[in-house]
Chains A and B, each alone.
Chain A
Amino acid sequence: MQNGEQKEEIKFEEALKKLEEIVDVIERGELSLEETIEKFEEGIRLCKICKRKLEEAEMKIEELKDEI
């Protein structure tokens, strides 16, 4: 559960970077089949996170309240 929450918290850029790394690793083809499948599943999940974050992205404009 805690793990799941952490994954929700991942930043878009971080998720994208991780996804790139996973694709590289899978493409190198040095992992066992089990590891490949594990990475693949993680990759798919990251893809979904990235797409969702992209869809959810909306511009908010806030003003700094601190006294400048």
Chain B
Amino acid sequence: MLKRKIFTVSEISSHIKEIIEKEELTNIWIEGEISNFRQAIGHYYFDLKDERAVIKCVMFSPSLPFTPKNGMKVIVKGDIRVYERKGYYQIYVKDIKVGGVGELFIRFLELKEKLEKEGLFDEKHKKSLPKIPSTIGVVTSPNGAAIRDIQNVISRRFPVRILLAPVRVQGEGAAEEVARAIKILNMRNDVDLIIVARGGGSWEDLWAFNEEKVARAIFESKLPIITAIGHETDYTIADFVADRRAPTPSAAAELAVPEREKIEEGIEELARRMEAAMRRRIDEGVARMERLLKRKTFMYPFELIYDKIAEYEKVAERLVKAGEERVKRLRQHLAMLERSIEAMSPYKVLERGYSICFRVKDNKIFSSVDDADVGDEIRVVVKDGEAICRMESKKKK
């Protein structure tokens, strides 16, 4: 397909660029020897070669702990890219490791990848450091500069107890000793933070801290661990697993303890806040009491009673009034009853000329001729008196 067209140089060049600049050619590690090294406006330009081939390299704004030299055996990390203006491909270098460390370096990368996959570097496993440890376990060489640096910083900032676990930090058996020291410190109950430290050295010197044993011991530690291994630019596997990584042993000690003056100030501040809050609380109580005392109950205590008395009097008055009313009505009612009873009285008819007769013998009303016989005495009641009469005769209608 490509053959059917005539390309411009730019066209084919950008096509080549697309073919070369693939994912698999980025962030790769390449081992070789530096030659033709030169610096220009802060950038490095050199060739990386072995017995059979050469690749051009460029490193922009390098920040390396050393300056590369011709003949140096190195491993570079970078991306392969095409430089179209000059018509060649080159390595855009991001990092350079020195020395005949090829094999070790591969082991480092492999272990790093493996442990990373297992999650040993995960942020979620990172323990927080105690604010103020009472005893710091330090895993390092008893003769090295690291322990002296840590001691100096700690005595200056905040003197605490240091428990040194003396180990070899390089050479045969160093990794085992470091791992064991971490385990032993974990078994004690007086340590609350561990610093694993080692001064600067070559890549091989630091190797113990790239061993899996050490990484596992750090990961399994229940106590938080700060690592400070080598120089600021050195990263070991131990650093990746640790809860915190410090660039130097002194920096690790600074992470481990706060400044005593700052803590003292903090306590003073707390005391001030507490006193202020206490004062506020008391003032508040006093103010509440004063407000209470200003209320009517305390200022004019009888006023409340006066009110009650007045209320009582009003009720009593109403009660009396209601009583009087009721008595008056009862009286009226009674008078009315009296009048009607009077009206109904049989004696009333006597007034009008009637009389009432009773049998004398038993004082029963005599209202029928059958009620008495001839000769019986009859009492006749009239309006102004009575008379006893004897029946002479009787006749039924």
Contact = CB atoms under 8 A, between A and B. Distances in A.
Nearest to B263: A54
Contact of A61 (B164, B271, B278): B164
Contacts, number: 98
Interface string B154-183: 110011111111110000000001001100
A59 B273 contact: no
B162 A61 contact: yes
Contacts of B158: 57
Name, among B151, B273, B278, the residue most crowded by chain A CB atoms within 10 Å (CB to CB).
B278
Contacts of B134: 11-13
Interface residues of A, number: 32
Interface string A1-23: 00000000001110010011011
Interface string B121-154: 0000000001110100100001000000001001
A50 B177 CA distance: 37
Secondary structure at the A interface, as helix, strand, loop or mixed, is helix
Given A59-B155, A62-B162, A26 B281 contact: yes
Interface residues of B, number: 40
Contact of A29 (B160, B161, B177, B284): B284
Given A27-B273, A29-B277, A62 B161 contact: yes
Contact of B130 (A13, A22, A63): A13
B114 interface: no
A22 B278 CA distance: 11
Contacts of A68: 165-167, 177, 180-181, 184
B282 A33 contact: yes
A13 B163 contact: no
Contacts of B151: 59, 61
Contact of B166 (A16, A19, A31, A64): A64
A7 to B, nearest CB: 16
B208 interface: no
A52 to B, nearest CB: 11
A64 B278 contact: no
B264 interface: yes
16 contacts: A13-B130, A23-B274, A23-B277, A26-B278, A29-B277, A31-B281, A40-B278, A44-B274, A50-B267, A51-B264, A51-B267, A57-B158, A59-B162, A60-B162, A64-B137, A64-B166
Given A37-B278, A40-B274, A64-B181, 6 more contacts: A23-B270, A23-B277, A29-B277, A29-B280, A57-B158, A63-B164
Interface of B: 130-132, 134, 137, 142, 151, 154-155, 158-167, 177, 180-181, 184-185, 260, 263-264, 266-267, 270-271, 273-274, 277-278, 280-282, 284-285
